Each structure stands twice: as structure tokens, then as C-alpha cells.
């Protein structure tokens, strides 16, 4: 055996941790400089933040006087946790909200676990029965005490607005997208105008419109609840954005799919429901979830028309004379909660995208 055939190991410097460091952080002089700069940046940013949030923070106590350490005063959040999560909802009725959460949680977990039977039924239950349960449980009726929506607030209200916005805007968005692609000029024109108007204006003006103009549109005596007005605004606004996303999917469908469905004699609605929409919606799932994330973040805007959503209530709690000066804690907490929700959605969408990528 000659020496040339013998396996020559690469130099130590190109292997393992050393090799990785060299390749990814110190490949040449300016990369090394950038690495050092980056490390310094992290050094001035991370330790003070960790100290403030965890190491020097105050976790036990009941009043602001218990906050003796340098860092964050999480007692502020602890003491107001009921307000932050449920708003002014009566304490003895809180089980109703929790019950709804529980149903949602159980069915959600059931749907997420792979290879279980009867998922279709659970899905149908969530879409048809669950909303009715929500309305009855949350606002009252059937022997339950009525709870006015002005008492709703906190994270609960945020979830209600985002949930209703998401669930109702998707079907409307699909209809608008189909309408815009329709061969009937009047339908297509009307849908285009509708979509472009909602997409062209900021949500805040939509909410102003909902709170100031909707009452003028209604006949005498009909008065909408403030929350419902906001919900209608959010719903149409996000439906217009979803319509454009769905339209993207419809446009990406190969023409052959349309022609093949027509060749086997499917009517327009059957063709859409059985062939085109299932495929094109699958294609745009990441973009749809992106829109859902946007709706979730946009719900914070309802505070400008006087609804106390999660952010609104944190703003409000911060003005309590007993707890003045703790806005940092409030914002950091709110940011963390919003971030977890949004990041979870975007993570789920990436997972789904991989799972549904059934090669074509």
C-alpha cells in the first residue's frame, strides 16, 4: 500500500469546534473584527437585561414597597394579573372564560396530535358548536348572568377580537377572492373596489369609521355594541387582505386544473370547492397564517376607540396611582406575551408548510 492511498486526516484547525469557529467567525481579518464587534454589542446588551429581568428583579411581595431590588418589579404584574388577563369581568364569573379556554385547549390538542380518528367531527364542533358555546358562556343567557361587553378586557378581549377576526375573515376573504377572479364584470368590479378600499386605508381609520359612522348607518333604535362595531371593522379589514392572499393562490393554479374539472362536468361551485380551493389554499397557508399574525398584532389598535384589550389594560393599570412608574415592566411583559403568540403561529406555519409540501 502506497502512502498516497492512506487516508490523510485534515489539519486539527479545520475540524471540530476550532474548525467551526475559524470557518464561521474568524475566516479573515474583517470577519474577526465583525465577530469582536458583535460580541461587544451582546456584552453591553445582554447582561444588564438579564440582571434587570431576572437576577435583580423582585418576585415576592404585595405592594410597591416590596420592590427593594434594583431590577424589575414583577409584583406589579402579579398584583394586577386578573385585570391583565380578564379585564373587569366579574370575579365570580371567571370560570366561564376558563371553561371556554379549556374546551378550546382540549380540541386544539386533539387536532394537533397526529393519527387520531374523528378529527373531522372535532373540527366541525369547533367551527359550528363552539362559537355558540362561546357567545352563551361569555355574554350570558340560558340562566347565566349577562356580562356586558364593556366589562370585557385584557388578554381575553384580545383573543376574542383576534379569534372572531380570524374565523370570520377567512370565508369572506375566499368569497371576495373568487368574486374578484369572476368572469362576470360587475361582480369582479364590485369585489375589486371593496378589496382595494379596505386595503388602501389604515386600520385606525377603519376603527374610527366603525365607531363614528356605523351608528349613523343604522335605522333608529338599532344600536350596536362598541365591541361588535370594532369586530365588524376588523373583520372586513382582514378579509380584504386575506382575499389578496387567496387570489395569489388561485392565480398560481395551473389552467389544466380548471379545464380538467370542467371536462368532467363539475359546476362552478363544485369545481371551486372540490378541486381549486383545496389545492390553492394549501399553497398559500404560510401567507394566510402571516395575515393571521398581522390581525393578532393589529387588535392592539382597538384601544384608540376605548376598548381595553391586553395592551390597553396594561396602559390603564400603569396609570393606577398605587403603581405609577412601572411602565417598563408592563411593556416588557406585554411584549413577551405577544411575541410568544406570534412566534408560535409563525413556527406552526413553517411546520405545516413542511408537512403539506407533498411534492408535486
- Residues at the site binding another protein, with contacts judged by CB under 8 A: 24-25, 27, 31, 34-35, 38-39, 41-42, 183-187, 190, 196-197, 199-202, 204-205, 208-209, 212-213, 215-220, 293, 297-298, 300-301, 303-304, 311, 315, 318, 327-328, 331, 334-335, 338-339, 342-343, 346
How far apart, in whole angstroms, are the C-alpha atoms of residue 228 and residue 245? 25
Nearest distance in Å: CB 6, another protein: 33
Task: Single out the residue of 85, 92, 148, 140 nearest to residue 309, CA to CA.
Answer: 85
Nearest distance in Å: CB 129, another protein: 30
How far apart, in whole angstroms, are the C-alpha atoms of residue 244 and residue 179? 11
Q: Which helix (H) or strand (E) holds 255?
A: helix 255-263
Q: 90 vs 202, which CB is nearer to another protein?
A: 202
Nearest distance in Å: CB 297, another protein: 4
Q: 18 vs 106, which CB is nearer to another protein?
A: 18
Nearest distance in Å: CB 230, another protein: 15
Q: 84 vs 100, which CB is nearer to another protein?
A: 84
Q: 1 vs 184, which CB is nearer to another protein?
A: 184
- Exposure string over 278-290, b if 16+ CB within 10 A, otherwise e: eebbebbbebbbe
**Is 150:229 a contact under the CB 8 Å cutoff?**
no
Q: 75 vs 191, which CB is nearer to another protein?
A: 191
- Residue 47 in 3-state DSSP? helix
Q: 96 vs 229, which CB is nearer to another protein?
A: 229
Residue in this structure with the C-alpha cell 474568524, named with its chain if needed: 26
In Å, how far are 101, 104, 124, 319 from 118, measured between CA atoms?
Answer: 21, 16, 10, 49
Nearest distance in Å: CB 112, another protein: 21
- Residue 311 in 3-state DSSP? helix
Nearest distance in Å: CB 344, another protein: 9
How far apart, in whole angstroms, are the C-alpha atoms of residue 250 and residue 313? 41
Amino acid at each position: 500500500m502506497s502512502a498516497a492511498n492512506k487516508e490523510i486526516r485534515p489539519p486539527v484547525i479545520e475540524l471540530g469546534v476550532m474548525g467551526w469557529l475559524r470557518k464561521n467567525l474568524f475566516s479573515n481579518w474583517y470577519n474577526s473584527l465583525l465577530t469582536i464587534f458583535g460580541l461587544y454589542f451582546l456584552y453591553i446588551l445582554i447582561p444588564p437585561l438579564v440582571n434587570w429581568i431576572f437576577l435583580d428583579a423582585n418576585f415576592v411581595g404585595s405592594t410597591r414597597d416590596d420592590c427593594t431590588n434594583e431590577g424589575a418589579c414583577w409584583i406589579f404584574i402579579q398584583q394586577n394579573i386578573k385585570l391583565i388577563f380578564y379585564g373587569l369581568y366579574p370575579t365570580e364569573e371567571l370560570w366561564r372564560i376558563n371553561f371556554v379556554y379549556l374546551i378550546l385547549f382540549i380540541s386544539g390538542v386533539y387536532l394537533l396530535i397526529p393519527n387520531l380518528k374523528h378529527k373531522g367531527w372535532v373540527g366541525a364542533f369547533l367551527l359550528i358548536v363552539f362559537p355558540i358555546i362561546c357567545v352563551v358562556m361569555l355574554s350570558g343567557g340560558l340562566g347565566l348572568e349577562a356580562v356586558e361587553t364593556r366589562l370585557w378586557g385584557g388578554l381575553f378581549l384580545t383573543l376574542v377580537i383576534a379569534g372572531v377576526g380570524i374565523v370570520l375573515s377567512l370565508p369572506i376573504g375566499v368569497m371576495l377572492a373568487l368574486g374578484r377572479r369572476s368572469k362576470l364584470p360587475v361582480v369582479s368590479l364590485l369585489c375589486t373596489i371593496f378589496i382595494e378600499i379596505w386595503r388602501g386605508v389604515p386600520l385606525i381609520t377603519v376603527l374610527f369609521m366603525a365607531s363614528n359612522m356605523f351608528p349613523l348607518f343604522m335605522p333608529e333604535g338599532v344600536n350596536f355594541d362598541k365591541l361588535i362595531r370594532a369586530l365588524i371593522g376588523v373583520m372586513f379589514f382582514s378579509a380584504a387582505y386575506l382575499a389578496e392572499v387567496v387570489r395569489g393562490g388561485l392565480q398560481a393554479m395551473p389552467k389544466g386544473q380548471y379545464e380538467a374539472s370542467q371536462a368532467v362536468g363539475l359546476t362552478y361551485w363544485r369545481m371551486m370547492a372540490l378541486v381549486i380551493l383545496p389545492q390553492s389554499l394549501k399553497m398559500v397557508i404560510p401567507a394566510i397564517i402571516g395575515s393571521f399574525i398581522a390581525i393578532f398584532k393589529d387588535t392592539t389598535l382597538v384601544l384608540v376607540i376605548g376598548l381595553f384589550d391586553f395592551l390597553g389594560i396594561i396602559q390603564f393599570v400603569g396609570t393606577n396611582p398605587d403603581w405609577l412608574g412601572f411602565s417598563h415592566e408592563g411593556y416588557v411583559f406585554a411584549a413577551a406575551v405577544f411575541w410568544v403568540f406570534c412566534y408560535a403561529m409563525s413556527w406552526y406555519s413553517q411546520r405545516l408548510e413542511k408537512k403539506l409540501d407533498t411534492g408535486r
